[in-house]
A and B are shown apart, each in its own frame.
Chain A
């Protein structure tokens, strides 16, 4: 039979020599190998203290963006929800009242914006669909939770910190979105 790979080797069936039957040389050789591993650098990352950086194109949790004045960019057009192949995004639109111009950028805004992180496949199509630069995928992932309800992220969970009142948090969150830099 021809081999599927060319890595096939014939197993040697010849009887062991007296030296091989002693096993001791082989054991000492093996111990040399294990001992040499004592001085090898190990690849462990001490996780909670050290975090391995994600690749720059990593797609993680969603972030709802604000503009420079701290107003929400989202107009609840629903394009992200339409683009979503997993149907993870739910939203309800509302009309901006007078006096709320400092909160919402456009006349219409999302009163409710939920992403079900258990449904989401982190494909990034919502990000591409958004005409208002409002939704981005960040470099973080959803932490573990005991209940399903905990994986449905509300608008408050998704919104980026306000650049006017919390510039530090905003910069930090912004840093986690590579495309928006």
Chain B
């Protein structure tokens, strides 16, 4: 059986891959905080952090040190177990999605074909949906365990927002699955390499998916769970020190992962546009070039996320629900229907 073909090298290879991807995600998230501040500054005619190191590039490290040095406060009235669990859950769930993303094609190391993907499960998209849905628990548990009305309101808002936007997101994805005909992430990418990127077939689907991704990551204009002018600080109101850092950090990891996801599902993953990589043969660097391409696409989306954050003001709560249920959901349904009809007609 294929599943049992596991040897020591396989386990080692996966361990190294997991370590590398977790490190990449953490470093990217760390420097996203820096990029966020710099881009915000540039968009507002300011300079941004410039003190720690040249151009302020050590700023994330300084922030990290600051967060570690802060006093750890756990409110007396809080549920301590859940209070500690909240940020952990937010962080773990944010990292877990990266398991099924194909980060590149295969690399040839000493005769072994090493795929740059932790788990090539045949229900990759479903797995992502399952994990993303879990993401709401980090917010919900953190907000509830704080025993603070603002945290609780923010957590409830966050939960209902995430659940509402997951629907439209899933419907937009079903159209993509109809086009590619597979739930396997690597299958979706190879389909795009052969037949052109999904954005060509699913522009509306991408738009819906992108808007929902903004809402899922709690980014402006959908950052209602942390609307600081109405809820003080949102669901992490009572958190301090590195627990707060974990919440803030999980947001940036989420942003990075959903950027990679968008690149993978709609923009060909590690495919380099207008270049036939297959002609390069099996050189060892082909996989790494693919990885770099994917990262470039992801960085563009991260930039887009930030660009939107510093342009568009926050939605009102009823507007948010209105958009999610009355606009995006029907739109995604229509998109799904049209895709289904076209796919059916083309197959005949």
Contact = CB atoms under 8 A, between A and B. Distances in A.
Contacts of B44: 37
Interface in A24-59: 27, 30-31, 33-35, 37-38, 40, 42-44, 46
Contacts of B46: 42, 44
Categorize the interface residue count of chain B.
Answer: 10 to 19
Contacts of B311: 27, 30-31, 33-34
Contact of A38 (B42, B47, B50, B312): B42
B62 interface: no
Interface residues of A, number: 13
A30 B312 CA distance: 8
A37 B312 contact: no
- A interface secondary structure, majority: helix
A90 to B, nearest CB: 41
B318 interface: no
A31 B44 CA distance: 12
B43 A35 contact: yes
A46 B49 CA distance: 11
B45 A31 contact: no
B50 A37 contact: no
Contacts of A43: 45
B308 interface: yes
B307 A35 contact: yes
A46 B308 contact: no
A42 B50 contact: no
Contacts of A42: 45-47
Nearest to A40: B45
A33 to B, nearest CB: 8
A42 B45 CA distance: 5
Contacts of B312: 27, 30-31
Nearest to B307: A31
Nearest to A31: B311
A97 B312 CA distance: 76
Contact of A37 (B45, B47, B308): B45
B47 A44 contact: yes
A36 B45 CA distance: 10
Contacts of A46: 47, 50
A37 B47 CA distance: 12
B276 to A, nearest CB: 33
Contact of B307 (A34, A40, A44): A34
Most A C-beta atoms less than 10 A away, residue of B45, B47, B50: B45
Interface of A: 27, 30-31, 33-35, 37-38, 40, 42-44, 46
The 3 A-B pairs with the shortest beta carbon distances in the complex, nearest first, are: A42-B45, A34-B311, A38-B42
Interface of B: 42-47, 50, 307-308, 310-312
26 contacts: A27-B308, A27-B311, A27-B312, A30-B311, A31-B307, A31-B308, A31-B311, A33-B311, A34-B43, A34-B307, A34-B310, A34-B311, A35-B43, A35-B307, A37-B42, A37-B43, A37-B44, A37-B45, A38-B42, A38-B43, A42-B45, A42-B47, A44-B46, A44-B47, A46-B47, A46-B50
Given A34-B311, A43-B45, A44-B46, 6 more contacts: A27-B308, A30-B311, A31-B307, A33-B311, A38-B42, A46-B47
